[in-house]
């Protein structure tokens, strides 16, 4: 099984591109939402760390957002509690999909949390900065400070780009995205078959 990690900036279209491969995708953001909704012990741990912000179960994202905007250290506290649960979910996902040739990992802190290893194939989603900012501002929940705090805990994009085996330029045009994904997917599968 080939593990493919998708890297890129917030709002660069990583999740959309991950889906285009046509293989099972582990979407960390969706899994985190499920944890907030269904994991009572996670709520208790978070409430102990952030008693001023968390009022009731299930966890409301808005309450966590307030905590993160108030202080970047709160984001680190959240990650420390949620991240081990995500690691477990990744292991379950990989076991469940072991018959597939490829699995796609759409995990924002893949590198930062050392989830990847040298066998991973990394794909960087490259987007023009002005295009990205335009798209972020259109989001319903757009918050400049929140995005800034998230970016602060991430490795610089230049570094992520350097670490990547492939780069997909995302111009947000479906036909060219599909074409680029197909090319990369074929290269990955052919390379693996020839070794």
- Listed in sequence order, the residues at least 6 apart from 92 whose beta carbon sits closer than 8 Å to its beta carbon are none
How many structural domains comprise the chain?
A: 1
In tens digits, the chain (195 residues) has pLDDT values of 999 999 999 999 999 999 999 999 999 999 999 999 999 999 999 999 999 999 999 999 899 999 999 888 999 999 999 999 999 999 999 999 999 999 999 998 899 888 888 889 999 999 998 888 888 888 867 888 888 888 888 999 999 999 999 999 998 899 999 999 999 999 999 987 665
CA dist 104 and 19 (Å) reads 8
Whether 138 maps to a domain, the answer reads: yes
- CATH number (domain holding residue 44): 3.40.50.300
What letter does residue 156 receive in the DSSP assignment? P
Residue 195 lies in a domain: no
Q: Which domain holds residue 41?
A: 2-190
Partners of 5 in beta bridges? 105, 122
Q: Is residue 23, in this structure, part of any structural domain at all?
A: yes
Total-model pTM: 0.91
**153 domain-assigned:** yes
């Amino acid at each position: 099984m080939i593990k493919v990690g998708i890297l890129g900036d917030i709002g660069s279209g990583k999740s959309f591109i991950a889906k285009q491969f046509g293989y099972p995708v582990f979407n960390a953001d969706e899994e985190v939402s499920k944890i907030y909704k269904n994991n009572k012990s996670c709520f208790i741990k978070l409430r102990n760390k952030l008693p001023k912000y968390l009022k009731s179960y299930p966890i409301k994202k808005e309450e966590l957002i307030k905590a993160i905007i108030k202080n970047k250290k709160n984001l680190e506290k959240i990650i420390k509690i949620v991240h081990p649960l995500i690691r477990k979910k990744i292991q379950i996902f990989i076991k469940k999909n072991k018959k597939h040739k490829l699995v796609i990992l759409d995990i924002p802190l893949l590198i930062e949390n050392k989830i990847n290893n040298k066998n991973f194939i990394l794909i960087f989603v490259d987007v023009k900065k002005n295009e990205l900012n335009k798209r972020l501002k259109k989001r319903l929940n757009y918050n400049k400070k929140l995005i800034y705090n998230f970016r602060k805990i991430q490795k610089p994009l230049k570094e992520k780009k350097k670490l990547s085996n492939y780069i997909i330029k995302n111009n947000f045009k479906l036909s060219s995205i599909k074409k680029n994904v197909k090319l990369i997917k074929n290269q990955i599968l052919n390379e693996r078959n020839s070794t």
